[in-house]
Amino acid sequence: DRCRETGTPLSFCGEDAGRPVEALCFAAIGMTSFSMRPASIGPVKSLLRRSDLGEVRDVIYASRERGDQSVRAAVMDYLRHQPTEARKLP
């Protein structure tokens, strides 16, 4: 939010940016620019296109409110309960 307010570009670069579930979480909390290996683009794009970022954001916030050490388990559980096409994790 602070970067958006000040017009400061924000991107994420590194191995986690190319991991589909992690990239989904970053996108759900508002990041829009990622740098990753070319081989990661397809799986990340596929998961992002078939996910509702608002729902994922709600899952992340609920997990944090519960005090979970990591939101990954909650997000994975959410993804497992999506319709069959949405569940095909890379």
Tens digit of pLDDT for each residue in 27-65? 999 898 999 999 999 999 999 999 999 999 999 999 999
For the chain, the domains span 2-87
Tens digit of pLDDT for each residue in 63-85? 999 999 999 999 999 999 987 65
Predicted pLDDT at 88:
54
Residue 50 buriedness (CB in 10 A; 0-12 / 13-18 / 19+): middle
